[in-house]
Amino acid sequence: LTSSFPTIEGFTLVLFHPRNPNAPPCLRGWVPWFGAAFQFGAAPLEFIEQARIQYGQIFTVFALGNRYTFVTEEEGIQVFCTSKDADFEQAVQRSVQNAGKTFNFHRLYSMMKGKLSTSNLHLLSGTLCKELHEHMEYLGPEGNEELCDLVRHVMYPAVVNTLFGKGICPTSKNEIKEFEKHFQKYDEDFEYGSQMPECFMRKWSKSKKWLLKVFEKVVSDAERSRPSDSSSRVNLSDFELTSTFYSLILLRLSVLVLLQVAFWTLAFVISQPSIYKIIMEDLVSVYGKAGKEKIDVSEDDLKKLPFIKWCILETIRLRAPGTITKKVINPIKIQNFIIPVGDMLMMSPYWLHRNPKYFPEPEMFKPDRWKEANLEKNAFLDGFMAFGVGTHQCPGRSGFSYVLLCRNVNHISSFCAVTIPTSLPHFLLGSKKHLFRKEPIEILLCPLSPCCRM
């Protein structure tokens, strides 16, 4: 009986943890270790907003044995962006190491920053346009197409062949479908799967193992077929991608978000005739009327098409990441609260981008708002944080925008595309529940005639 006291005492401390009077209000739930994980995981974006309304602008969520402290007001966000006592690299390192792998974040970040820098964009252009043309030809001249399928079947193989080398990653239609199913499951549940025992995440574990098996062949083929000149693609061996886990993480970072943003950009543009018309007029000014079978998009051309870039940035604003995280390495004071060492400091770009102070009519798709930004110097609008903040901003943000611009110019200049009204889901604009599609958006493709660019 006596020996059971420490166990009971420990259980009591976990379940009824005494609150530090200087700490933010904490949502703990009633299940030890799991905490509020079930409520948080069911609908994260709504959970964050409801917690802000109920508990205030700074609050902590205890889930899966970790403390996540959210900041939602200006002072807290400023601290998140500038404080040296919160570290992004350690936050990323922790999640990946919890998945059971040693991860050199700094080396991966430096390599990606160099490969996808503005000065190297010209190395991507020729290969990317060629790949886009090749895979768009598979669509045929006209017909109905589900928008997500169109983006996936064209953009995924074009991007991975450009970044990794042709034939390195699986790119056939059947392979892509199976790959996407496992990859989507792996990505959606990564935060939980990297921290919970695999017995609680069987489907996630199954998809992870399937993907790792695929990447065993990917890494082997990459090493065997490595060309002498690899400057135009990501060289897998540049940062010791002999680990299949590294290659999987790289693909997750580089390709998945591209597909999602490309889908939503086309969905927003095609569903609004006035915006679609402006883009077509811009294409006429640069490429002339329809008639050319293929358009080779150069970096100079894209500088003459600012409106398309505004559309992409407005899409990213509306479909921004739910959260960005840093690890607290020294106590941080925000307002009257002390955030303790070990907390994960959280900020939500998704909700910040809906602050009317920074973005009037925040739920509306309004590309014109971006004319105020100095995009040539990568100076975005105040309050825009989709690419991260501080020293660890997205290393491929220039390359990211460039690939999306090429993709959208090639698509819009090749087809006349309109949405079939009954297929357009009501949540396309102003959605709080769906960052990515949950229902199909069907579009009608037809050959682009000269009248389409008049």
Binding-site residue ranges for heme: 394
Max Cα–Cα distance, the chain, nearest Å: 88
- Cβ atoms < 10 Å from Cβ of 73: 14
Residues 143-157, buried b or exposed e (16+ Cβ, 10 A)? eebebbbbbbbbbbb
Pairing mode, strands 442-447 and 415-419: antiparallel
CB 448 within 8 A of CB 415: yes
CB 303 within 8 A of CB 398: no
- Cβ atoms < 10 Å from Cβ of 21: 8
- Count of positions (residues) in the chain: 454
Q: How far apart are CA 181 and CA 252, in angstroms?
A: 13
Residues 279-290, buried b or exposed e (16+ Cβ, 10 A)? bbebbbebbeeb
CA quadruple 287, 290, 291, 294: dihedral sign: positive
Residue list, annotated binding site: 394
**How is 5-25 classified by DSSP, letter by letter?**
HHHHHHHHHHHTPPPPTTSPP
CB 113 within 8 A of CB 398: no
CB 157 within 8 A of CB 163: no
CB 393 within 8 A of CB 427: no
